[in-house]
Amino acid sequence: MTIAEAERNVFLVDDDNDVRDELATALSMRGFAVRAFADGETFLAVQNVLPGGCVVLDLNMPGLNGMDVQAALAERDSAHKVVVLTGSGSVPAAVRAMHAGAIDFIEKPFRIEDLVRAIGRALTHQRQSLREANRRREAQAQIDRLSERERDVLAGMVLGLANKIIAYRLGLSVRTVETYRAHVMDKLAVRSLAEAVQIAIDAELSPKGDILRVDPVG
């Protein structure tokens, strides 16, 4: 899923036919690509194959209500960002939805421009999440180019260890560590230690094994 694909997608989940049709028309006129669902069950049945975007979710629906749908999205670790719609008596539930991960809530009745702004905030979060996911994926692809020993040496670099300490902990010569370190820089296509460390952090490379061995005192 690309950032562009998620830029204008809105998935509208509301059981009120009139409200759903009115909102779908208003949002489409403002340039959003809208797909509407009459209930939470129908939405969840296809959610995992939908492109990225903002879910505009009515909290007060029969069957699966908005909180149920929100919980299902959280359980699936969904990347979709949620804006909830709520009646005046359901504000506490909307606040709970935000604690559960919703980006914003809009209290009915509302102006369409207020909803548009909330959707804009949700899509901004979506873009940020996609950029972070892309960065992690690209970093992991770079780390995958390294041999196991090269990853060990990189882990030592992340810990800020000198070559001689890395060599001691891994049972290697300093010259061998220097060679591995050069290979790491070459395979990651970086020119500075800071760049290599950032890739390791983005890929969530965790130091383990011998590189964490405690040095003897004295």
- pLDDT tens, residue order, the chain (218 aa): 444 555 789 999 999 999 999 999 999 999 999 999 999 999 999 999 998 899 999 988 988 888 899 889 989 888 899 999 987 666 777 778 777 778 888 888 899 999 999 999 999 988 888 888 889 999 999 999 999 999 999 999 999 999 999 999 999 999 999 999 999 999 999 999 999 999 999 999 987 776 766 665 44
What pLDDT does residue 209 have? 72
Domain count, the chain: 2
SS3 171: coil
- What's the chain's length in residues? 218
Residue 217 lies in a domain: no
- Judgement on whether residues 17 and 125 belong to the same structural domain of the protein: yes
Judge whether 218 lies within some domain: no
Exposed, middle or buried by CB within 10 Å (0-12, 13-18, 19+), for 13? Answer: buried
- Domain of residue 155, residue span: 145-212
Residue ranges in 144-206 assigned as alpha helix (H) = 148-158, 163-170, 174-188, 193-202
CB–CB of 153/184 below 8 Å?
yes
| Domain boundary residue, one of 76, 108, 135 | 135
Non-local (6+) Cβ contacts of 20 within 8 A are 12, 14, 36, 38
Domain end point (choices 109, 135, 161): 135
Residue 116 shares a structural domain with residue 204: no
Both tokens of 21, joined, read: 């049709």
26 and 119 assigned to the same domain: yes
Instruction: Tell if the pTM clears 0.75, that is, is over it.
Output: no
Do 78 and 161 have their domain in common? Answer: no
